Amino acid sequence: ELHTSSRPPAAVIAVQTGDASLSGGILRLGQVKIPVLPLPHDAGEREIRLVVEAALVVGRLAACRQSERLARRLSHDKAYRDPLTDSLNRRAWEVLLRRRVRRAMRRRQGFTAAILDIDHFKTVNDRFGHRCGDEVLKAVSQALHASLRSEDHIFRFGGDEFTLLLEIADPDIARSVVERARGQLSRLHEKITDLPPVTASAGYTVCSGTEPGLAAEALFDSADRALLSAKQAGKNQTCGGPFTPGN
């Protein structure tokens, strides 16, 4: 059965053909869908390699779109939304994190999990009142959504903590993205009248999908330990790096 599909590939078959009208498709073998790519009969090794690499990139993008579609479905379900900030909630985080870990292990597609904690939030509530505290949480949620890409996901984990799933597999890039998000928070009081200064501490961990012992709980614990390091170092900073079980 040959048909088109946006599902990410498990493998790639390149078929040499002299028919330029053949556009390729998907070969279904049971539950496995394999992209079939047409190649001219005189294609060399370099051309074949480029086509296969392009197909794998398309597959990764398709996998990201699948994750986005699931997040959108959850966002329409009140059980998976935080009523105050309108972000996805902890329940949605647990669903999407487990799903993303499985995809990382199956397809070797790394990603970043991060935890962001608003500094001195109790002081905000005590000094300015809980209504102001609620406004801070809503402003933080909006700033995070504005600073990240559509394929990344933001969750209100609980209290003054937010979690992030980032489609980033490079630790240095992950740090810069988390730092940029934190920087947006520090400027909130300049944009919103009567909002007290806001800073945050963040911890992140980056997995490649090849690590032994990789699991959703272990990944969260790794990011949580990085967050604790940021707090112990004086808050208002980011700590983290590659995922290592128990590290």
pLDDT above 70 as % of the chain = 70
pLDDT band at 75 (very low <50, low <70, confident <90, very high): low
Residue ranges covered by each domain of the chain: 2-66, 77-242
Report the chain's terminal Cα–Cα distance, integer Å.
Answer: 47
Does position 94 have pLDDT exceeding 50, yes or no? yes
Residue, of 17 and 200, whose pLDDT is higher: 200
The residue ranking higher by pLDDT, 59 or 89, is 89
Please give the helix or strand (H or E) that residue 217 lies within, else none: helix 216-232
pLDDT at 17: 45
Query: How would residue 12 be classed by pLDDT, with cut points 50, 70 and 90?
Result: very low
Higher per-residue confidence, 192 vs 179: 179
3 state DSSP class of 47: helix
CATH 3.40.50.150 for the 77-242 domain, yes or no: no
Q: Which residues of 149-168 are buried (b: 16+ CB within 10 A; e: fewer)?
A: eebbbbbbbeebbbbbbbbb
The residue type of 32 is: V
| Cβ–Cβ < 8 Å for 205, 241 | yes
DSSP 59-117: HHHHHHHHHHHHHHHHHTSGGGB-TTT-SEEHHHHHHHHHHHHHHHHHH---EEEEEEE
| Per-residue model confidence (pLDDT) at position 193 | 76
User: What does the alpha-carbon distance between residue 208 and residue 105 come to, in Å, rounded to a whole number?
Assistant: 8
Please check the confidence at residue 106 and state whether its pLDDT lies above 70.
Answer: yes
SS3 188: helix
What are the C-alpha distances in Å from 225 to residues 17, 155, 220, 229, 233? 54, 19, 9, 6, 12
Q: pLDDT per residue over 230-241, tens digit each? A: 999 999 999 999
- Number of other residues whose CB lies within 10 A of the CB of residue 122: 11
Question: pLDDT digits over 120-143, tens only?
Answer: 999 999 998 999 999 999 999 999
For the segment 184-221, what is each residue's pLDDT rounded down to a tens digit?
998 888 877 778 889 999 999 999 988 887 899 999 99
Q: What pLDDT is recorded for position 58?
A: 57
Q: Using 50, 70 and 90 to split pLDDT, how confident is the model at 42? A: low
Where does the pLDDT of residue 2 fall: very low under 50, low under 70, confident under 90, or very high at 90 and above? Answer: very low
Q: Tell me the CA distances in angstroms from 22 to 2, 38, 100, 193, one per residue in order.
A: 12, 6, 34, 61
**Cα→Cα distances 148→30, 40, 92, 108, 182, Å:** 38, 41, 18, 23, 11
Q: How confident is the model at residue 150 (pLDDT cuts 50, 70, 90)?
A: confident
Q: For residue 4, what pLDDT band results from cuts at 50, 70 and 90?
A: very low
Residues with Cβ within 8 Å of residue 190, at least 6 apart in sequence: none
Contact 162, 141 (CB under 8 A): yes
The H-or-E segment that residue 42 falls in is none
Res 72 pLDDT > 80:
no
Residue found by looking up tokens 């905000």 in the block: 124
Residue 174 is which amino acid?
A
Mean pLDDT, residues 153-165 taken together: 96
pLDDT at 9 over 50: no
pLDDT for the residue numbered 48: 66
Would you state the pLDDT for residue 99?
Answer: 92
Query: Which of helix, strand or coil describes residue 32?
Result: strand
pLDDT at 195: 80
Q: 39-75 in b/e burial notation, b at 16+ Cβ within 10 A? A: beeeeeeeeeeebbeebbeebbeebbeebeebbeebe
pLDDT at site 22:
40
Please state, in angstroms and rounded to a whole number, the distance separating the CA atoms of residues 201 and 72.
Answer: 28
